[in-house]
Amino acid sequence: MLQELLSEHKIILGSQSPRRRNLLKGLDIDFESCTIDADESFDPNMDYHEVPEYLANKKSHDFSKELSKNEILITADTVVILKDMILNKPQNRAEAIDMLTLLSGEEHKVVTGVCIRSSDKTRLFQDQTRVRFHKLTTEEICYYIDRYQPFDKAGSYGIQEWIGYVAIKEMIGCFYNVMGLPLPKLYRELKNFIND
């Protein structure tokens, strides 16, 4: 069991996202959380599939102190990829409307990169989920944005909110990955990380 493997370790979740904190609680492991103020910029010429792991690793190394021998830091970053575009967090209402208009009736990928790091090793991995939206009206898009204010979410939406109930036509892959933390994969990667 992962809980037994972690009994001699202190887990730190480097995230300001309440969703990621709640998700990690679901694994029944003890952890502390902290906010990491990381620059989330990346080279626009980078392969967009590499961006989530790159940003998760960047957040990990922006952690404010050195890790002690028994500490394990987990950081993550989620992006929405539509065709050859990365849709990150919207800066304002107009940008959020534009993003959801682009996603309407289309299939996109949600990719979460995760970094697990201790004082002596690092493991990077990612998970991908394919999501297809029903066609949305402008009225539906504006209703969601004005009521739920999804400005802290990649692609301007949270699958666990109203829009997830009405807009998701099809999904292939991990639901929790779309929320921001691929729990089944993280569980196994943590076990491998400790056993290596």
For residue 30, indicate whether it is catalytic.
Answer: no
DSSP 91-152: SSHHHHHHHHHHHTT-EEEEEEEEEEE-SS-EEEEEEEEEEEEPP--HHHHHHHHHHH--TT
What backbone phi and psi angles, to 5 degrees, belong to 34? -145, 160
Q: Which member of 39, 77, 120, 152 is catalytic?
A: 77
170, β-bridge pairs: 132
Which is nearest to 127 in space by CA: 49, 57, 60, 58? 49
Which structure tokens are listed for 196?
Answer: 């290596």
Q: Which residues are catalytic?
A: 77
